[in-house]
A and B are shown apart, each in its own frame.
Chain A
């Protein structure tokens, strides 16, 4: 079984060919490192999977069912969650409010529906516990550390029954200790059978947490192999073009 299958995905913006015939399959609980230099097409690929825009050519299947996304909400309805690079958090709201943003739980009768604070705090606390993160649901995100902010963004992906979590550069701008925290969060997702696509520039992160590595260069896939069969040196060569293909 595959959770995500891309076949011959291409994308061009006018004359610019951003992606060229990229195919990819991901199994449940698999952590895939997506690497490549700036402009290699990583973001374009992620945005296609996340439903920001459709591909020019090619097909996408989620759980063996063909899908066509036109906006992010549609991808989310199909079990694809995204942790954006800037995390898409509102600093002025609490951790729980951010987790449930756009999907607030309500209670009441008939047309009168009010926010169900108690349940949202409790579920958010459960999610943070599941992620083993010391994050308090009632705290404002403004006051949180980089690792806690990541936990809030990741907890958000656990609200529904998600199959795939896309993470865009989650370790780019945080401290060493917090990087370790985030990598642990990724392992927790994997343990629950969720597939993770990790976009990263940091070789050590990819090699410590990923099962498989995919390298893009100038819009084409130049490598797709198990992490155990590769090495940081090889990947660096693939990214820069010193090595044509592997």
Chain B
């Protein structure tokens, strides 16, 4: 009796292979990989050094914000204000640096502005108890308005004495890899580590799975939720600084509509909008797939008007796969 109970308790339910095959992220990764291979054969232009460089850099910005969004979505929330926060942080960077301050001050103030946005979001959601959708929808409007007020809606294209440094940071490379891509990789590794190995990471999954249970078991739910929105805003802020350096100029329409691309990347990468499910790697893969689709349409000479249709279909297909799988499991 004791032996058989031991065996049952210690038996492993999944093999590594079946675990892998049950992951949405794995299939999306496969889809992105296949698309890349197909494109390398179909076009002469895809597998060129230049194009690959562009693709990886372009998706890095969405990917960075998608990591923050993944944290929010795992906790069962949503952050619609990331596009506006990105713009606000870019404008702050531009204004501070064009006023003659060094790069470090520009970055610090930009990130502080982003963190403030996250704190306001988080406090209204966690302590006042308002729905994340409403709070961040309001913030979408407020943060962009702040960017307009601060810049007086003028384009910023001169960044003072540290201009070269800023352009190098956002547009340059290190060992031949675009800097934003390196930032993305580092952040994805940090996020992956936090999700798996820290109590904080465990708790955001718990809150997304059953917030009431998390409260009853003594998880500091409110504090964690504020942290979640701060992290989301912070990733938007980091992407804002990098984008400023890449573009070499900032306008107040930067990042308009970006929240939807970011949410799409997160969902395609396997995060569940109902909360409790998501991975850092998934956010990166989702962002990559969207950029590969975009790039392939251009290279194949298909009108870019089709982009929305393709990205939208992928969101639906990805979620449909998830749905079919969970139906099969419940049988």
Q: Tell me the A118-159 residues at the B interface (CB within 8 Å).
A: 125, 128-129, 132, 134-139, 143, 156
CA distance A73 to B216 in the complex (A): 8
| Cβ distance A201 to chain B, nearest Cβ, rounded Å | 22
| Chain B interfacial residues counted at CB < 8 A | 29
State whether the Cβ of A89 lies closer than 8 Å to any Cβ in chain B.
Answer: yes
State whether the Cβ of A93 lies closer than 8 Å to any Cβ in chain B.
Answer: yes
CA distance A59 to B205 in the complex (A): 38
Interchain CB contact under 8 A, A92 and B6: no
Q: Tell me the B288-308 residues at the A interface (CB within 8 Å).
A: none
A-B contact count (CB 8 A): 84
State whether the Cβ of B197 lies closer than 8 Å to any Cβ in chain A.
Answer: yes
| Chain A interfacial residues counted at CB < 8 A | 34
CA distance A2 to B62 in the complex (A): 61
Interchain CB contact under 8 A, B5 and A132: yes
Given contacts A91-B276, A135-B9, A136-B13, 6 further A-B contacts (CB under 8 A): A82-B216, A101-B206, A104-B199, A125-B10, A129-B6, A132-B5
Q: Tell me the A194-230 residues at the B interface (CB within 8 Å).
A: none
Q: Tell me the B163-214 residues at the A interface (CB within 8 Å).
A: 196-199, 202-203, 205-206, 208-210, 212-214
Give the B-binding residues of A (Cβ under 8 A).
Answer: 72-73, 76, 82, 84, 86-93, 97, 101-104, 106, 113-115, 125, 128-129, 132, 134-139, 143, 156
| Cβ distance B70 to chain A, nearest Cβ, rounded Å | 14
CA distance A86 to B205 in the complex (A): 19
CB neighbours of B12 from chain A (8 A):
138
| Cβ distance B218 to chain A, nearest Cβ, rounded Å | 4
Interchain CB contact under 8 A, B9 and A93: no
| Cβ distance A70 to chain B, nearest Cβ, rounded Å | 13
Residue among A88, A139, A156 with most chain B CB within 10 A: A88
CB neighbours of B219 from chain A (8 A):
101-102
CB neighbours of A115 from chain B (8 A):
196-199, 202
CA distance A43 to B209 in the complex (A): 25
**Beta-carbon nearest neighbor of A126 in chain B:** B9
Interchain CB contact under 8 A, A137 and B205: no
CB neighbours of A87 from chain B (8 A):
213
Given known pairs A102-B219, A106-B199, the reply for A90 and B213 (CB within 8 Å) is yes
Interchain CB contact under 8 A, B208 and A136: no
CB neighbours of B202 from chain A (8 A):
93, 97, 101, 104, 115
State whether the Cβ of B49 lies closer than 8 Å to any Cβ in chain A.
Answer: no
Give the A-binding residues of B (Cβ under 8 A).
Answer: 5-6, 8-13, 196-199, 202-203, 205-206, 208-210, 212-214, 216-219, 276-277, 329
CB neighbours of B203 from chain A (8 A):
102
Out of A91, A113, A135, A143, name the residue touching B209 (CB < 8 Å): A91
User: Can you report 19 A-B residue pairs in the complex whose CB atoms are below 8 A from each other?
Assistant: A72-B218, A86-B212, A88-B213, A89-B210, A90-B205, A90-B209, A93-B209, A97-B206, A101-B213, A101-B214, A101-B217, A101-B219, A102-B214, A113-B198, A115-B196, A115-B202, A125-B10, A134-B5, A135-B9
Interchain CB contact under 8 A, B212 and A125: no
Interchain CB contact under 8 A, A90 and B329: no
Interchain CB contact under 8 A, B8 and A134: yes
CA distance A113 to B198 in the complex (A): 7
CB neighbours of B197 from chain A (8 A):
114-115
CA distance A89 to B217 in the complex (A): 9
| Cβ distance B34 to chain A, nearest Cβ, rounded Å | 29
Interchain CB contact under 8 A, B11 and A136: yes
CB neighbours of B212 from chain A (8 A):
86, 88
| Cβ distance A44 to chain B, nearest Cβ, rounded Å | 17
CB neighbours of B329 from chain A (8 A):
143
**Beta-carbon nearest neighbor of A82 in chain B:** B216
CA distance A76 to B199 in the complex (A): 20
CB neighbours of B10 from chain A (8 A):
125, 136
CB neighbours of A84 from chain B (8 A):
216
CB neighbours of A139 from chain B (8 A):
13
CA distance A72 to B210 in the complex (A): 17
- Shortest beta-carbon contacts, A-B, top 9: A90-B209, A92-B276, A88-B213, A102-B217, A92-B209, A102-B218, A114-B197, A101-B217, A90-B210
Interchain CB contact under 8 A, A114 and B198: yes
CA distance A102 to B224 in the complex (A): 12
| Cβ distance B5 to chain A, nearest Cβ, rounded Å | 6
| Cβ distance A60 to chain B, nearest Cβ, rounded Å | 20
CA distance A72 to B208 in the complex (A): 21
Interchain CB contact under 8 A, A76 and B198: no
Interchain CB contact under 8 A, B218 and A103: yes
Given known pairs A88-B216, A101-B217, the reply for A93 and B206 (CB within 8 Å) is yes
CB neighbours of B210 from chain A (8 A):
88-91
